[in-house]
Amino acid sequence: MTAEGNFTKLGLELPPAPSPMGVYKPCLIVDNFIYVSGHGPVQMDGSRIIGRIGADMDIEAGKLAAKQVGLAILSTLKANLGSLDRIKRVIKVLGMVNCTSDFERHPYVINGCSELFANIWGTENGIGVRSAVGFGSLPENIPVEIEVMFELA
């Protein structure tokens, strides 16, 4: 099944593609790759989920926020490429978690996004290399920011 077909089968909706919050492009195509700038968890009404994991929200809410970041990234891809089928594979995911200093389960939180991508492109093409790290703060107090590099089909 195609990425678009898999997305439809999951019954998910895409939030609006976020606008840049600074001087940068949401994504950039170089050769056969598309680099997606850091995205936050955009909700269906365009607002962002806010809060710090370990203080304002628990780990499960953090994982759901990471999934919402993944949906925002998909929205940017669709807005700029026209179709998720233009993506061949996930190359690299960098997940940043806004959390308390004693929080240690950053990979679990970022799985919210990685599991979404695996469901869209399959385990062979939807899982790439990844880093999941903790931060003392993120822009506007969002719980998760993720940037991704994809190979184009």
Going by pLDDT thresholds of 50, 70 and 90, the confidence category of residue 1 is confident
**92 and 146 in contact (C-beta within 8 Å)?**
no
Going by pLDDT thresholds of 50, 70 and 90, the confidence category of residue 21 is confident
Domain ranges of the chain: 33-152
Supply φ then ψ for residue 146, to 5 degrees: -135, 135
The pLDDT of 32-55, averaged and rounded, is: 97
The pLDDT of 37-46, averaged and rounded, is: 97
What's the rounded Cα separation, in Å, for the pair 104 and 1? 36
**What CATH architecture applies to the domain 33-152?**
2-Layer Sandwich (3.30)
What's the rounded Cα separation, in Å, for the pair 144 and 16? 17
